[in-house]
Amino acid sequence: MNSTPPNPAHGRSPRIGVLLANLGTPDEPTTPAVRRYLAEFLSDPRVVEIPRVIWMALLHGVILRVRPGKSAKKYASIWLKEGAPLLVWTERQAQYLRGNLGERLKAQNLPPDLVKIEVAMRYGNPSFESALAKLKAANCDRILLLPMYPQYAASTTATACDALFDAIKKERYMPAVRTVTQWHDDPAYIKALADRIGKYWQAHGRPDKLLMSFHGVPKLTLMRGDPYHCFCRATSRLLAEALGLRDDQWVQTFQSRLGRAEWLKPYTDDTLKALPSQGVKKLHVVCPGFPADNLETLEEIAIEGKETFMHAGGSSYHYIPALNDSSLFIHALTDLTLSNLQGWLNAPPSAAALQAQSARAKALGASN
């Protein structure tokens, strides 16, 4: 985020900026692009909490030599013509949020363009710096960070906050900043999830069991005080209640392990192998922690998960798509944004007030 033009911008109405932040994606599904992305992602000390000397040697000596090629093939299998699914869906969410928010502001007799929304990726593009530069050019003097992680974790939400503050710490005139740390139990979010699943069941029938799979983290993070595990459990319980499910009709698991250390359990892959022998032949899987479809949902769950379950003796397997651009979810995002902008939403100065402000600034400059 460069330092020109200088702020404050006299004579221009101040605006509010909202950063819709997500994890990130390679620029293309190729080995070099995936290597660049993984090098940035896996170098973050919040993501991998192994002593740096040991981890960096392993990362650059082994992982970045082997994993990018395998991951590139997986990305290629789910890549859309518009680009990476995660980025495509996040940008679409931002687009619909702009429209919804503009209508809500207009209903409050506020300018529909009072709030500017940009997408930022923690790793890869568009970067926090580029997104903040756009907000600065729009004269945004207040920033709301809305990470697209309903369940707080240090390795996701906290590192997005790190990126925001790293991007603005060089500024002479820093904007006011607010962050949304978690929304795992937001009623509108739970309602959107239940609606998504209910409509899928209307079209495809109900399964023997619903599996709710969340991204995994090392068990050590729980021992150190990370609330992620508790937030995931709360989301699952609330969603099961909204769907009217008995305890024996659903199960929660954690996916995407890395390394040999113990991670949060039960593991998704182990559960998929075990369920058929327990009489579960028809299974539906949903990933409530991912508001936008990505590699982990479309490849790991929808493709690899199906192969695992069917090979173990299952007869029917369905992945229920993420919320993506569903109308109820966009309404939930709109409500979440507005509730976190309370006290900031006021009418910008009038044209006369702006002219007077500009005149005072010029006079002050001339006297100096």
pLDDT at 240: 98
pLDDT at 55: 95
Instruction: Give me the mean pLDDT over the 160-183 stretch.
Output: 94
Q: Which domain holds residue 76?
A: 27-83
Mean pLDDT of the chain: 93
| Residue with more model confidence, 12 or 277 | 277
Assess whether pLDDT exceeds 50 at residue 4: no
Alpha-carbon distance of 279 to 277, in angstroms, equals: 5
pLDDT > 90: percent of the chain: 88
- What's the farthest any 2 CA atoms get from each other in the chain? 84
- Residue 348 binned pLDDT confidence (cut-offs 50, 70, 90): low
pLDDT at 363: 58
CB 86 within 8 A of CB 297: no
Q: What is the pLDDT of residues 174-184, one digit of tens each?
A: 999 999 999 99
Number of domains the chain contains: 2
Assess whether pLDDT exceeds 70 at residue 353: no
Token representation of residue 109 = 């007799």
Assess whether pLDDT exceeds 80 at residue 1: no
Do 192 and 315 have their domain in common? yes
pLDDT at 260: 84
Q: Is residue 109 part of a domain?
A: no
Instruction: Give residues with Cβ within 8 angstroms of 237, minimum separation 6.
Output: none
For residue 178, the cross-strand partners are 144
- Residue 6 binned pLDDT confidence (cut-offs 50, 70, 90): very low
pLDDT at 350: 55
Could you give the angle at the alpha carbon of 97 between the alpha carbons of 107 and 182, nearest 5°? Answer: 110
Token representation of residue 181 = 């740390």
Q: What is the pLDDT of residues 55-108, one digit of tens each?
A: 999 999 999 999 999 999 999 999 999 999 999 999 999 999 999 999 999 999
Alpha-carbon distance of 137 to 48, in angstroms, equals: 35
- Residue 258 binned pLDDT confidence (cut-offs 50, 70, 90): confident
Q: Is residue 276 part of a domain?
A: yes
CB 259 within 8 A of CB 211: no
Do 74 and 191 have their domain in common? no
From 83, 105, 127, give the residue that closes a domain: 83
Q: Is residue 350 part of a domain?
A: no
Q: What is the pLDDT of residues 114-159, one digit of tens each?
A: 999 999 999 999 999 999 999 999 999 999 999 999 999 999 999 9
The Cα-based distances of 331 to 54, 178, 180 in angstroms read 45, 21, 17
Alpha-carbon distance of 278 to 291, in angstroms, equals: 30
Instruction: Give me the mean pLDDT over the 273-284 stretch.
Output: 98
Q: Is residue 33 part of a domain?
A: yes
Q: Is residue 203 part of a domain?
A: yes
Q: How many residues are listed for the chain in this entry?
A: 368
Do 312 and 200 have their domain in common? yes
Q: What is the pLDDT of residues 12-58, one digit of tens each?
A: 689 999 999 999 999 999 999 999 999 999 999 999 999 999 999 99
Q: Is residue 16 part of a domain?
A: no
Which strands make up the sheet holding 115-124, listed edge to edge?
115-124, 15-25, 140-147, 176-179
- Residue 362 binned pLDDT confidence (cut-offs 50, 70, 90): low
Count CA atoms closer than 13 A to 283's CA, side-chain side: 33
Domain containing residue 300: CATH number:
3.40.50.1400
From 319, 342, 357, give the residue that closes a domain: 319
Q: Is residue 36 part of a domain?
A: yes
